[in-house]
C-alpha cells in the first residue's frame, strides 16, 4: 500500500492515543499508526531489519506506558514535536512537487529529526544506523508478496513425514531462504517445553550447490524476536569459539504470527550434526557419561556454570514459573468488587489463594503482562519484568475483548478483576488424575512400599512450603532449557548448544536438574516399563543413588543408564554453593519434575515417575538433605561417595 | 555560572518537543549555598511545571548546578525519578536522593522524559 496520505495516518494515531489514554497525538502514536497499516513502508523497513511491526508496537507502548483515566483537557492536540515533524514532512512533499504529505515524507521527517520516542525505541531494539534507514525509506519500492520467488522444499530421509510442517511454517521457511532455489529439511529436532519447531535445513543454490546446513527455529513472533534480543545481550559474548550461533536477523513476515531464526551448525563432510536425543539410543552408557564429563561440561563450563557467584534467593523467585498458573480467571468488567473479595498483590499470600474456589471474585493489582494471546482472547500476567523468562506467579485472564481494551507485554496492570475458573492446585490435581493413580491423590503421602521407605510426600500437595524457603546457591549464565534435544554433537564428537530462548543469569544447577529430569524420561524410563510399580522400582534405585549407594543387583540396561545420572551428579557437585549441600539440587529437581508432570509430550510412564521423583525430592529435603538454616552450621546435608 | 544558560527539552508526553530555557542572570531558578537549582513539579510555582502529567508530584525533583557539574535530586516523589538503564532500555532505574547527571542524558519524572542541554 504505497502513498498512505497523512490524514489517514492521523486517524490511526488518534485511535492509538485514545487506546493508551494519552489524549494527545505524539510521534509515538503516528509511528504505531504506520506500523498498524498492513503493507506500510514503515512496517516493511522494520522487517528488513528483522523486527516484526507488532513487536515494535509493543516496545513503544511499554516505553511510554498507559496514561491515567483522568482526562485533563478536551480534544486530542498534537504535541509540539509532531508540529515540527509536520512542517519538515510538508517541506519534503513540496520539494517533490506535491501538496499532500505521504507516509514516506513523514517517515523521512522522523528520521531527520531523530529525537522522538519511537526512534529511541527502535535504536534500543538494534536499529542504530538511521542514515541507512533514511536511505532505504527514500528508495524502497514496495513489492507485492506474490512477486516472491518460489523456494522448493524437499524432505530428507531422516524427516518423519507423519509430522508434516504446517502451511504457515512452510511460508516462514520459504521466506527465510528466499535467496535460494531449494531447501532440504533434513530432520526435526525435538523441542523442549516451548513448543517451537526446530529443523535442520540444507539450503541449495540455483546451480545445485549445497550451502552449510543450519538449524532453524520457527515459533511465535514475540518469542523469536525476544530470543534474538536476548542472544545479543546475554549470550553472544559468552559462547565458546566453536559453537552454534544465531545467523542473520530473524525473519518475521508481516502476514504471519510466526517468525524464524537460523543457527549456524558446525558440520564435517557435509554430515549434519545430530542432537543428543538421537544419539542416546546408539551410544553405550559409559561413552555418554565420559562425553558429558570430558567434552560437554568443559566446553561451556568455563564461561557458564563454573563462573558462578553466590546467590541467595527465595525459591519462588527462581522456580514458581515452572508450575501451572496460580490462577486462571475469567475477566469481569464494570462490576464493583465485593467487600470480602480476595485482592492479589505482592507479597502474594498463597495460603489464602488455596482457599479460592470456582466463581470467586478476585482483584489482581500491579502484575505485569507477560503474554498476549490475541486468538484466545487472553493475557498472562506475572510478577517480574516483562522480558524475563523466569517470572513468578503466572495468572491467566480470559475473556478479553482486544477491540475495546489494549494490553501490551511489559505493561503494569494496576487493577484487573475476574472470577476464578481454575486454581493451580486444581490443575495439578487434574494432571495427576490423568495418570490413573493406584493411590488416593488427595492423600498427603503416596505409598511406595520400598525397603526402608513406605511412603513419600505427595508432591502436588506438599511443594507449597518449599516455595518460601531460602536457598544459599550460586548464579551463573545458564542455558535455561538444557534437554538432550538442544545439545548437539558435531565433528569429532564436539559439543554445542542451540536454542537460547531461555538463556539467562539464574540458579546454576537448574540446567543440570533439567537434564536429569529429561534423561529420566527419555533415557531411563523407556527401559523400565509403564506401570506405577515400574516407576516405584526406578524411584527405589534413585533413592539408593541419592544415598551414594549403587548396588550391583540393579538389572541391565537400567544399571548402566543410571550410571549416567551418577556421572551427571558428579558434574553438579562443583556447581553447588557448598560441595556437601545438596538441598539446592533437590529443590530444583522437585520443581522440574512437577513441571514435567503437566506435559502431555512426556510419556505416561514418564509422568508417573515424575510424581514419584517429586515426592522423593521432598522426602530427601526433609531427611537426608535438609536445607541448613541461615547463619547456622550445616546439618547432615551431605552427599556421600560422589 | 553567570554566562551559562540551561535548556531542558521535554522528550515525551503531551508537551514533547518543547524546549525551556533557564538563565540565572535573568533570575530563573534559585541560588542556594553555591548552587543553582531548577525545581520540577506539577504545581505552577515550579520553574519547570509539568501540569499535564498526573504521575508527577506537586514538588517532584531538582536539577542542580553545584561543584561544576549537574545533579538530579528526587524530592521523595510518589512515582519516582528515573534514568535510562544501559542494560535494559525498558527497565528504567529509579534514583535515590541526588545523583550526578551528564548533558544529553535522559531522565524521567513521573511519565515525562526530559533532557538537559547547556548553552555556554
Question: Residues 350-389, chain A: which have Cβ within 8 Å of B?
Answer: 385-387
State yes or no: pLDDT of A387 exceeds 60. Answer: no
State yes or no: pLDDT of A389 exceeds 60. Answer: no
* Per-residue pLDDT, A192: 58
Across A598-607, average pLDDT: 90
CA angle B106, B107, B108 (to 5 degrees): 135
pLDDT tens string A243-280: 788 877 888 887 788 999 998 887 766 677 888 988 99
Residues A547 and A640 sit within 8 Å (Cβ to Cβ): yes
DSSP helix/strand/coil, B15: coil
Nearest CA in chain B to A125: B89
Sequence-distant (6+) residues with CB within 8 A of A340 are: none
Size of interface A-B (CB pairs under 8 A): 63
Q: Exposed/middle/buried for A476, CB within 10 Å: 0-12, 13-18, 19+?
A: buried
Cis amide prior to A347 (ω within 30 degrees): yes
Edge-to-edge strands of the sheet including A504-507? Answer: A309-314, A470-478, A504-507
Across A593-600, average pLDDT: 92
Among A538-542, A614-618, B58-62, B88-92, the least confident range: B88-92
Partner-chain contact A84 B16, CB within 8 Å: no
Nearest CA in chain A to B112: A64
Confidence of residue A634 (pLDDT cuts 50, 70, 90): very low
* Per-residue pLDDT, B1: 58
What's A441-487 look like in SS3? CCCCEEEEEECCEEEEECHHHHCHHHHHCEEEEEEEEECCCCCHHHE
Say yes or no: B4 contacts chain A, CB-CB below 8 A. Answer: no
* Per-residue pLDDT, A335: 82
DSSP string spanning B39-98? EEESSTTSSEE-TT-TTS-SS-EEEEEETTEEEEEE-S-SS-EEE--SS-TTSPEEP-SE
Partner-chain contact A63 B90, CB within 8 Å: yes
Residues A242 and A266 sit within 8 Å (Cβ to Cβ): yes
For chain A, how many residues are written? 642
Q: Where are the alpha helices (DSSP H) in A155-235?
A: 167-176, 221-230
* Per-residue pLDDT, A146: 44
Instruction: Note the ipTM here.
Output: 0.93
CA angle A51, A56, A59 (to 5 degrees): 130
Say yes or no: B86 contacts chain A, CB-CB below 8 A. Answer: no
Q: Exposed/middle/buried for A136, CB within 10 Å: 0-12, 13-18, 19+?
A: middle
Across A460-466, average pLDDT: 92
Partner-chain contact B16 A116, CB within 8 Å: yes
H/E stretch holding A288 reads: helix A285-291
Q: Report DSSP state, residue A27.
A: H
What cell was used for A325? 498458573
A70, A72, A387 ranked by CB distance to B90: nearest: A387
Say yes or no: A115 contacts chain B, CB-CB below 8 A. Answer: yes
Q: Are strands B61-66 and B35-41 parallel, antiparallel or unpaired?
A: antiparallel
Question: Residues 408-427, chain A: which have Cβ within 8 Å of B?
Answer: 410
Residue whose entry in the numeric block shows the C-alpha cell 526433609: A622
* Per-residue pLDDT, A37: 87
pLDDT tens string B8-27: 999 999 999 999 999 988 88
Partner-chain contact B16 A386, CB within 8 Å: no
**Phi, psi (deg, nearest 5) at residue A598:** -95, 0
State yes or no: pLDDT of A636 exceeds 50. Answer: no
pLDDT tens string B50-73: 998 989 999 999 999 999 999 999
Whole-number Å distance between alpha carbons of A126 and A56: 11
State yes or no: pLDDT of A431 exceeds 70. Answer: yes
Whole-number Å distance between alpha carbons of A557 and A280: 13
Say yes or no: B52 contacts chain A, CB-CB below 8 A. Answer: yes
What cell was used for A160? 518423519
A26, A59, A73 ranked by CB distance to B16: nearest: A26
* Per-residue pLDDT, A390: 61
Partner-chain contact A22 B52, CB within 8 Å: no
Partner-chain contact A117 B12, CB within 8 Å: yes
Q: Report DSSP state, residue A79.
A: P
Q: Which of A166-175, A541-550, A607-616 has the highest average model confidence (pLDDT)?
A: A607-616
* Per-residue pLDDT, A50: 85
* Per-residue pLDDT, A269: 66
Give me chain B's average pLDDT, please. 91
pLDDT above 90 covers what percent of chain A?
55
* Per-residue pLDDT, A499: 86
* Per-residue pLDDT, A385: 54
Whole-number Å distance between alpha carbons of A181 and A58: 35
Whole-number Å distance between alpha carbons of A349 and A367: 14
CA A167 to chain CA centroid, Å, is 24
Whole-number Å distance between alpha carbons of A335 and A47: 42
**Phi, psi (deg, nearest 5) at residue A103:** -50, -45
B14, B90, B106 ranked by CB distance to A386: nearest: B90
Partner-chain contact A26 B14, CB within 8 Å: yes
* Per-residue pLDDT, A503: 86
pLDDT tens string A208-220: 888 888 899 999 8
Q: Which residues on neighbouring strands pair with residue A504, listed in sequence order?
A: A478
* Per-residue pLDDT, A631: 41
pLDDT tens string A139-158: 887 655 444 567 899 998 88
Partner-chain contact A83 B17, CB within 8 Å: yes
Question: Between A466 and A270, whose confidence is greater?
Answer: A466
Residues B97 and B73 sit within 8 Å (Cβ to Cβ): yes
Confidence of residue A286 (pLDDT cuts 50, 70, 90): very high
Give how far B89 is from chain A: nearest CA, Å: 6
Say yes or no: B44 contacts chain A, CB-CB below 8 A. Answer: no
What cell was used for A32? 504505531
* Per-residue pLDDT, A206: 84
Partner-chain contact A84 B52, CB within 8 Å: no
pLDDT tens string A337-370: 888 889 999 888 888 888 898 999 999 999 999 8
Q: Which residues on neighbouring strands pair with residue A380, listed in sequence order?
A: A371, A396
Sequence-distant (6+) residues with CB within 8 A of A513 are: A585, A588, A589, A591, A592
Determine the straight-line distance between the first and last CA of chain B, rounded to whole angstroms: 9
State yes or no: pLDDT of A637 exceeds 50. Answer: no
Nearest to A608 by CA among A595, A617, A597: A597
What cell was used for A113? 529529526
Q: Exposed/middle/buried for A290, CB within 10 Å: 0-12, 13-18, 19+?
A: middle
Q: Which of A313-322, A379-388, B82-91 has the highest average model confidence (pLDDT)?
A: A313-322
Confidence of residue A310 (pLDDT cuts 50, 70, 90): very high
Sequence-distant (6+) residues with CB within 8 A of A277 are: A189, A190, A483, A484, A485, A522
Whole-number Å distance between alpha carbons of A483 and A518: 6
Partner-chain contact B11 A233, CB within 8 Å: no
* Per-residue pLDDT, A436: 94
* Per-residue pLDDT, A632: 41
Confidence of residue B120 (pLDDT cuts 50, 70, 90): low
Confidence of residue A573 (pLDDT cuts 50, 70, 90): very high
Count helices and strands (H / E) in chain A. Answer: 23, 20
Amino acid at each position: 500500500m504505497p502513498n498512505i496520505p497523512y490524514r489517514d495516518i492521523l486517524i490511526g494515531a488518534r485511535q492509538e492515543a485514545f487506546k493508551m489514554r494519552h489524549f494527545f497525538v505524539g510521534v509515538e502514536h503516528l509511528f504505531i499508526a504506520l506500523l498498524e497499516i498492513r503493507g506500510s513502508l514503515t512496517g516493511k523497513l522494520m522487517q528488513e531489519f528483522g523486527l516484526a511491526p507488532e513487536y515494535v508496537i509493543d516496545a513503544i507502548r511499554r516505553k511510554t506506558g498507559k496514561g491515567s483515566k483522568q482526562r485533563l483537557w478536551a480534544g486530542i492536540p498534537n504535541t509540539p514535536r509532531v508540529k515540527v515533524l509536520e512542517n519538515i514532512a510538508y517541506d519534503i512533499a513540496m520539494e517533490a512537487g506535491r501538496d499532500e504529505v505521504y507516509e514516506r515524507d513523514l517517515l523521512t521527517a522522523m528520521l531527520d529529526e531523530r529525537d522522538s520516542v519511537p526512534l529511541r525505541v527502535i535504536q534500543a531494539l538494534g536499529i542504530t544506523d538511521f542514515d541507512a534507514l533514511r536511505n532505504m525509506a527514500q528508495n524502497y519500492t514496495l513489492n507485492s508478496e506474490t512477486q516472491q520467488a518460489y523456494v522448493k522444499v524437499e524432505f530428507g530421509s531422516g524427516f518423519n513425514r507423519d509430522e508434516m510442517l504446517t502451511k504457515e511454517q512452510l511460508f516462514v521457511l520459504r521466506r527465510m531462504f528466499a535467496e535460494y532455489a531449494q531447501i532440504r529439511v533434513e530432520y526435526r529436532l525435538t523441542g523442549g517445553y516451548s513448543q517451537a519447531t526446530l529443523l535442520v535445513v540444507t539450503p541449495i543454490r540455483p546451480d545445485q550447490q549445497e550451502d552449510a546446513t543450519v538449524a532453524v527455529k520457527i515459533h511465535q513472533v514475540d518469542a523469536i524476536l525476544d530470543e534474538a534480543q536476548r542472544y545479543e545481550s546475554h549470550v553472544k559474548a559468552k559462547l565458546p569459539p566453536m559453537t552454534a550461533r544465531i545467523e542473520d536477523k530473524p525473519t518475521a513476515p508481516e502476514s504471519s504470527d510466526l517468525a524464524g531464526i537460523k543457527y549456524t551448525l558446525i558440520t564435517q563432510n557435509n554430515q549434519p550434526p545430530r542432537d543428543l536425543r538421537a544419539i542416546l539410543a546408539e551410544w553405550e552408557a559409559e561413552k555418554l557419561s565420559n562425553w558429558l564429563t570430558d567434552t560437554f561440561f568443559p566446553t561451556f563450563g568455563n564461561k557458564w556454570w563454573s563462573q558462578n557467584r553466590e546467590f541467595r534467593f527465595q525459591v519462588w523467585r527462581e522456580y514458581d514459573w515452572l508450575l501451572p498458573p496460580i490462577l486462571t480467571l475469567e475477566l469481569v468488567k464494570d462490576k464493583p468488587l465485593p467487600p470480602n473479595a480476595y485482592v492479589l498483590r505482592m507479597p502474594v499470600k498463597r495460603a489464602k489463594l488455596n482457599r479460592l474456589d470456582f466463581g470467586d471474585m478476585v482483584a489482581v493489582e500491579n502484575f505485569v503482562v507477560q503474554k498476549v494471546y490475541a486468538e484466545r482472547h487472553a493475557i498472562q500476567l506475572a510478577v517480574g519484568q516483562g522480558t524475563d523468562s523466569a517470572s513468578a506467579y503466572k495468572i491467566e485472564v480470559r475473556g478479553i475483548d482486544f477491540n475495546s481494551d489494549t494490553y501490551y507485554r511489559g505493561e503494569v496492570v494496576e487493577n484487573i478483576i475476574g472470577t476464578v475458573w481454575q486454581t493451580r492446585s486444581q490443575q495439578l490435581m487434574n494432571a495427576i488424575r490423568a495418570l490413573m493413580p493406584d493411590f488416593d491423590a488427595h492423600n498427603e503421602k503416596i505409598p511406595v512400599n520400598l525397603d526402608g521407605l513406605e511412603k513419600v510426600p505427595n508432591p502436588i500437595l506438599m511443594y507449597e512450603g518449599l516455595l518460601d524457603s531460602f536457598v544459599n546457591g550460586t548464579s551463573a549464565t545458564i542455558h535455561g532449557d538444557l534437554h538432550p534435544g538442544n545439545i548437539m554433537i558435531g565433528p569429532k564428537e564436539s559439543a554445542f548448544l542451540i536454542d537460547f530462548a531461555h538463556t539467562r543469569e539464574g540458579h546454576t544447577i537448574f540446567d543440570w536438574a533439567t537434564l536429569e529430569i529429561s534423561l529420566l524420561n527419555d533415557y531411563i524410563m523407556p527401559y523400565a516399563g509403564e506401570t506405577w510399580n515400574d516407576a516405584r522400582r526406578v524411584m527405589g534405585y534413585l533413592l539408593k543413588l541419592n544415598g551414594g549407594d549403587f548396588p550391583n543387583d540393579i538389572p541391565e540396561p537400567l544399571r548402566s543408564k543410571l550410571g549416567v545420572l551418577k556421572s551427571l551428579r558428579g558434574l553438579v557437585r562443583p556447581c553447588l554453593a557448598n560441595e556437601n549441600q545438596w538441598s539446592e539440587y533437590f529443590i530444583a529437581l522437585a520443581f522440574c519434575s512437577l513441571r514435567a508432570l503437566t506435559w502431555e509430550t512426556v510419556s505416561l510412564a514418564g509422568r508417573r515417575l515424575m510424581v514419584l521423583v517429586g515426592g522423593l525430592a521432598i522426602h530427601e529435603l526433609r531427611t537426608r538433605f535438609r536445607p541448613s538454616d541461615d547463619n547456622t552450621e550445616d546439618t547432615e546435608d551431605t552427599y556421600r561417595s560422589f | 555560572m553567570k554566562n551559562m544558560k540551561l535548556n531542558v527539552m521535554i522528550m515525551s508526553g503531551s508537551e514533547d518537543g518543547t524546549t525551556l530555557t533557564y538563565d540565572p542572570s535573568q533570575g530563573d531558578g534559585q541560588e542556594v549555598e553555591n548552587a543553582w537549582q531548577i525545581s520540577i513539579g506539577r504545581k505552577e510555582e515550579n520553574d519547570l511545571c509539568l501540569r499535564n502529567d498526573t504521575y508527577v508530584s506537586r514538588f517532584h525533583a531538582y536539577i542542580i548546578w553545584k561543584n561544576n557539574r549537574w545533579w538530579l535530586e528526587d524530592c521523595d516523589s510518589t512515582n519516582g525519578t528515573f534514568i535510562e538503564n544501559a542494560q535494559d532500555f525498558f527497565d528504567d532505574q529509579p534514583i535515590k536522593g541526588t545523583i550526578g547527571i551528564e548533558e544529553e542524558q535522559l531522565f524521567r519524572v513521573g511519565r515525562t522524559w526530559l533532557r538537559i542541554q547547556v548553552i555556554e
